């Protein structure tokens, strides 16, 4: 990946492990690495840094999570445990002028649920040059101006920060001016032209000066501005803003047209030379869509939909310029405050569906994550599920919850649940949302087939025809599929030394009992056989029932339909059943 250079900067720390409810661990790891790395670049080996087994990452469904739908920028290689770059990371776009640029993610693992915070400290690289607000500046200077007179030149700006921002200015050698570099109270640097040798309009009516702004990066970058000086009798005072920095704060979703702040400056000159016009000199594209500036009054008003979750702070520069082009600038910082305008969002992170009906109470069925894009109290969320279902929501790490069973499940009673999870934040007024999780209960072979009767009896006429049906038994099994499929069979037994299977047979599918041969009334006046009903579960369950067969003399009617035998109060095979 060709970036050995940062491997030494990578791992900063792996902080203490906290033990939290539900056998979960929470550890932090943070990486320091440069912006603009190629996709696929390895940031570090997160498995190693957190002491996780790389071989189990896949089984534990390791993944990188972000708050809400924010971009992820990185991902984890489940084979190696490497954290790799997946999106362009542009520090300037992400963090603007912030000194520290931090991206936070969570590494989530399951079985057991485990959460680790990952911070990426994005290091600035010198990928932006200093830029002056304008390529050329027009100055008009009185020929009688004294040596030492100062003329401010608007600052150049560099989107990079720290050493990579503007460090100094250089004025190309010329006969009249030297440059003095000044620092504003906000910390930015600008240049002042200082008249070193008086001007003489008769000798030279126009001058061109070249100023170069340089940053402190390696390699160094620079930007230039050309200053056209016209020598005449005119204006010599630049406007002066009443404050070096204007600060304002307003709630997000403020209506269009809301006045944010008014900048004002005074100019010691008279007439056109003292009339100040305001304009934004430098601001982000985002800020340009949100605010407008009245060039006469200096009023800054809202023209866009301010969303705290998108941007909580805007910084911009306003230039005040008098009639002859002398100008100065001031910084405006606008803080956006949060209001509770985002309902919590419920994410179902994993779900075991279906869940076997014999799951013991307390079995984890799913993992739920709740997020709220607001901040502070507006993002504190409580979660609950509806009453009267055998499930509970157990708070786990941070904004994670485990959905666990809280009682016995029985598919034969309830086979499907719609579990409604409700999340409510602590804003005022609070916002809430809900999500329904459909959960099926999977069958377990927990019911044996049960005969409809406790016992059966049948009458057969002597010399009946072989193959004629004698009786039929029925057993029912409420389980599902093969667990509920019933197969009948005759249990082995003997009658006067003759196996019962040579007298009767039972149809395995229907439970109809047939005579195998004709009975001899004298030999088989009455006898009993046992029929077993067995299901196809694994392991199978069965029940047995007694069928009493009586044969009568040939003139009696043949009875084909089994009758229950109510005189037999207790089924010997099921002593509990009456």
Ligand X SMILES: *[C@@H]1O[C@H](CO)[C@@H](O)[C@H](O)[C@H]1NC(C)=O
Q: How many residues bind ligand X (CB under 6 A)?
A: 12
Give the nearer residue to ligand X in terms of CB position, either 454 or 543: 543
- Minimum distance, C-beta of residue 422 to ligand X, in the bound complex (Å): 16
Alpha-carbon span 356 to 444, nearest angstrom = 7
DSSP helix, strand, coil percent of the chain (3-state; round to 5): 5, 45, 50
- Minimum distance, C-beta of residue 414 to ligand X, in the bound complex (Å): 7
Whether the Cβ atoms of residue 541 and residue 448 lie closer than 8 Å to each other:
yes
Give the nearer residue to ligand X in terms of CB position, either 103 or 533: 533
Give the nearer residue to ligand X in terms of CB position, either 251 or 492: 492
Give the nearer residue to ligand X in terms of CB position, either 169 or 391: 391
Give the footprint of ligand X on residues 533-572 (CB under 6 A). Answer: 542-544
Alpha-carbon span 450 to 473, nearest angstrom = 11
Give the nearer residue to ligand X in terms of CB position, either 305 or 452: 452
Peptide bond into 388 cis (omega under 30): no
Of 226, 333, 339, 532, which one interacts with ligand X (CB under 6 A)?
A: 532
Give the footprint of ligand X on residues 70-89 (CB under 6 A). Answer: 77, 79-80
Strands 136-141 vs 222-231: parallel, antiparallel or unpaired:
parallel
Give the nearer residue to ligand X in terms of CB position, either 144 or 438: 438
Q: Is 573 in the site for ligand X (CB under 6 A)?
A: yes
Whether the Cβ atoms of residue 178 and residue 194 lie closer than 8 Å to each other:
yes
Q: Is 222 in the site for ligand X (CB under 6 A)?
A: no
- Minimum distance, C-beta of residue 54 to ligand X, in the bound complex (Å): 9
Q: Is 491 in the site for ligand X (CB under 6 A)?
A: yes
- Minimum distance, C-beta of residue 40 to ligand X, in the bound complex (Å): 6
- Minimum distance, C-beta of residue 293 to ligand X, in the bound complex (Å): 48
- Minimum distance, C-beta of residue 81 to ligand X, in the bound complex (Å): 8
Give the x-and-dash track for 424-453 against ligand X (CB under 6 A).
--------------x---------------
Strands 455-461 vs 542-552: parallel, antiparallel or unpaired:
parallel
Give the nearer residue to ligand X in terms of CB position, either 259 or 532: 532
Give the nearer residue to ligand X in terms of CB position, either 58 or 183: 58
Please, what is the Cα angle at 572 between 570 and 576, to 5 degrees? 65
Give the x-and-dash track for 314-343 against ligand X (CB under 6 A).
------------------------------
Instruction: Assign residue 61 a region (left: φ > 0; alpha: ψ between -120 and 50; beta: otherwise).
Output: left
In terms of Cβ atoms closer than 10 Å to its own Cβ (0-12, 13-18, 19+), residue 577 is: exposed
Of 90, 93, 416, 520, which one interacts with ligand X (CB under 6 A)?
A: 416
Alpha-carbon span 348 to 256, nearest angstrom = 38
Pull the structure tokens for residue 165. Answer: 């921002």
Give the nearer residue to ligand X in terms of CB position, either 373 or 534: 534
482, 483, 487, 490: CA torsion to nearest 10: 150
The residue behind tokens 């019933």 is 486
- Minimum distance, C-beta of residue 543 to ligand X, in the bound complex (Å): 5
C-alpha torsion sign, points 45, 46, 51, 54: negative
Strands 42-45 vs 166-171: parallel, antiparallel or unpaired:
unpaired
- Minimum distance, C-beta of residue 255 to ligand X, in the bound complex (Å): 40
Alpha-carbon span 339 to 490, nearest angstrom = 76
Give the nearer residue to ligand X in terms of CB position, either 419 or 515: 419
The residue behind tokens 């000044």 is 182
Of 258, 418, 428, 564, which one interacts with ligand X (CB under 6 A)?
A: 418
Pull the structure tokens for residue 289. Answer: 């869509």
- Residues of this chain that interact with ligand X (CB under 6 A) are 77, 79-80, 416, 418, 438, 491, 532, 542-544, 573
């Amino acid at each position: 990946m060709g970036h050995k250079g940062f491997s030494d900067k990578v791992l900063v720390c792996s902080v203490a492990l906290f033990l939290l409810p539900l056998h979960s661990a929470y550890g932090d790891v943070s990486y320091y690495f440069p912006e603009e790395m190629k996709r696929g670049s390895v940031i570090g080996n997160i498995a190693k840094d957190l002491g996780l087994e790389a071989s189990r990452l896949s089984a534990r469904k390791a993944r990188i999570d972000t708050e809400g739908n924010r971009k992820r920028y990185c991902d984890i290689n489940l084979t190696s445990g490497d954290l790799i770059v997946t999106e362009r990371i542009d520090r300037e776009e992400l963090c603007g002028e912030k000194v520290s640029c931090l991206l936070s993610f969570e590494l989530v693992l399951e079985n057991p649920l485990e959460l680790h915070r990952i911070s990426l400290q994005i290091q600035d690289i010198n990928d932006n040059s200093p830029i002056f607000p304008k390529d050329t500046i027009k100055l008009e200077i009185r020929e009688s101006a004294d040596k030492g007179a100062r003329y401010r030149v608007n600052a150049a700006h560099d989107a990079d920060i720290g050493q990579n921002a503007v460090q100094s200015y250089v004025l190309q050698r010329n006969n009249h001016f030297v440059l003095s570099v000044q620092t504003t109270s906000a910390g930015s640097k600008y240049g002042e032209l200082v008249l070193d040798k008086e001007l003489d309009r008769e000798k030279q009516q126009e001058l061109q000066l070249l100023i170069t702004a340089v940053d402190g990066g390696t390699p160094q970058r620079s930007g230039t501005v050309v200053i056209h000086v016209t020598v005449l009798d005119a204006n010599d005072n630049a406007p002066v803003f009443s404050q070096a920095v204007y600060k304002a704060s307003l709630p997000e979703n403020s209506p269009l047209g809301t006045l944010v702040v008014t900048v004002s400056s005074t100019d010691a000159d008279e007439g056109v030379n003292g009339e100040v016009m305001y304009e934004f000199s430098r601001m982000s594209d985002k800020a340009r869509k949100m605010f407008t500036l009245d060039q006469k009054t200096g009023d800054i008003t809202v023209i866009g939909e301010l969303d705290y979750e998108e941007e909580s702070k805007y910084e911009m520069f306003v230039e005040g310029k008098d009639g002859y082009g002398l100008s100065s600038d001031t910084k405006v910082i606008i803080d956006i405050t949060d209001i509770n305008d985002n309902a919590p969002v419920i994410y179902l992170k994993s779900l075991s569906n279906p869940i076997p009906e014999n799951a013991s109470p307390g079995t984890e069925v799913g993992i739920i994550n709740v997020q709220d894009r607001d901040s502070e109290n507006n993002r504190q969320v409580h979660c609950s599920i509806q009453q009267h279902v055998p499930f509970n929501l157990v708070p786990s790490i941070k904004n994670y919850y485990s959905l666990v069973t809280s009682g016995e499940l029985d598919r034969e009673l309830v086979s499907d649940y719609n579990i409604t999870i409700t999340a409510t934040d602590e804003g005022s007024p609070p916002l809430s949302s809900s999500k329904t999780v459909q959960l099926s209960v999977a069958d377990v072979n927990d019911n044996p087939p049960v005969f409809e009767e406790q016992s059966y009896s049948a009458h057969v006429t002597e010399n009946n025809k072989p193959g004629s049906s004698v009786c039929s038994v029925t057993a029912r099994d409420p389980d599902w599929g093969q667990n509920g499929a019933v197969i009948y069979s005759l249990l082995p037994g003997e009658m006067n030394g003759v196996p019962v299977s040579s007298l009767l047979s039972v149809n395995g599918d229907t439970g109809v009992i047939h005579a195998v041969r004709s009975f001899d009334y004298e030999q088989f006046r009455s006898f009993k056989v046992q029929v077993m009903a067995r299901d196809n579960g694994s392991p199978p369950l069965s029940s047995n029932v007694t069928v009493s067969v009586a044969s009568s003399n040939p003139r009696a009617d043949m009875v084909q339909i089994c009758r229950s035998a109510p005189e037999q109060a207790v089924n010997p095979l099921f002593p509990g059943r009456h």
